[in-house]
């Protein structure tokens, strides 16, 4: 009882800092920040698709998205939908690398540059029907699809099958979350700067 009376007032005073410290620990386990907006994009056919989101997972809704070419020329713009997603048509002959800039409210802005791989995906995507090649094998009586048609269908199928994967990879490229290393590094820098300042002051 004595101990309770002696320490409780202090403990009560310390409650907020303790809560803060607890929050810090819990917060570090799930770093989710509303300080910046992330955007990623990938090419599909002659479209650039992508998504804008805040690191907590909240979607960047109704945000302006601009598509720029290698020289920074504006190729097109749109707004994200309620799921934070957008798609933009790429004009033929656009100069790579293409860059997507997303402008969320309150001064948040993010960008993502599409790499060469994306550009190639765009080039090889079937855009015009390929000339049917005469089928040399007389074996099959079954619906004989020409090779070109087959390739085209396969291309579409692959595009559809691979879309989640492409999106995921693009997202991983864009996403550089806060790691414990960063936090420790920052704290170390602050300590080091303090030491430096103390050293310089002591020398004078």
Partner 1 sequence: MHISEGVLGGPVLAAGAALTLAGLAVGLKKMDFDRLPQVAIMSAAFFVASLVNVPIGPVKEHLILNGLLGLLLGWATFPALFVALALQGVLFQFGGLTTLGVNTFNMALPGVLCYLLLGRLARNGGRRLPLLAGFLCGFLSVGGSALLVALSLATAGEEFLVVARLVVVAHIPVMVIEGVVTASMVGFLRRVRPAMLGMVQQS
* Choice between 43 and 114, CB closer to partner 1: 114
Site residues (CB under 8 A) for partner 1, limited to 103-132? 103, 105-111
- Min. distance of Cβ 46 from partner 1 in angstroms? 27
Tokens representing 16 are 């907020």
Going along the chain, which residue ranges are E strands? Answer: 38-44, 47-53, 64-68, 74-79, 85-89, 99-103, 109-113
Q: Is 49 helix (H, G, I), strand (E, B) or coil?
A: strand
176 binds partner 1 (CB under 8 A): yes
11 binds partner 1 (CB under 8 A): no
Query: Using CB under 8 A, which of the segments 80-88, 148-156, 164-172, 190-198 binds partner 1?
Result: 190-198
**Given candidates 6, 8, 13, 117, which one binds partner 1 under the rule CB under 8 A?**
13
Backbone φ and ψ for 87, nearest 5 degrees, come out as -145, 140
* Choice between 35 and 161, CB closer to partner 1: 35
Provide the CA 47 distance to its chain's centre, in angstroms. Answer: 17
Tokens representing 163 are 């879309």
Tokens representing 141 are 């009586």
Q: Is 113 helix (H, G, I), strand (E, B) or coil?
A: strand
The residues of the shown chain that bind partner 1, judged by CB under 8 A, are: 9-10, 13-17, 20, 23-24, 26-28, 30-37, 56, 58, 101, 103, 105-111, 176, 178, 182-183, 185-187, 189-191, 193-194, 197-198, 201
């Amino acid at each position: 009882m004595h101990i309770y009376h002696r320490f409780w007032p202090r403990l009560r005073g310390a409650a907020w800092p303790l809560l803060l410290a607890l929050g810090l620990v819990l917060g570090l386990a799930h770093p989710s920040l509303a300080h910046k907006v992330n955007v990623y994009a990938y090419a599909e056919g002659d479209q650039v698709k992508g998504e804008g989101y805040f690191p907590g997972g909240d979607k960047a809704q109704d945000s302006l998205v601009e598509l720029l070419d290698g020289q920074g020329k504006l190729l097109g713009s749109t707004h994200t939908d309620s799921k934070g997603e957008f798609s933009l048509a790429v004009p033929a002959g656009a100069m790579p690398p293409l860059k997507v800039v997303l402008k969320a409210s309150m001064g948040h802005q993010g960008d993502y540059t599409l790499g060469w791989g994306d550009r190639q995906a765009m080039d090889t995507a079937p855009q015009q029907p390929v000339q049917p090649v005469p089928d040399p094998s007389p074996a099959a009586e079954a619906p004989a699809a020409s090779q070109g048609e087959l390739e085209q269908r396969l291309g579409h199928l692959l595009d559809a099958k691979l879309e989640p994967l492409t999106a995921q990879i693009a997202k991983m490229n864009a996403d550089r979350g806060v790691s414990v290393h960063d936090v420790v590094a920052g704290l170390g820098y602050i300590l080091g700067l303090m030491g430096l300042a103390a050293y310089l002051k002591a020398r004078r």
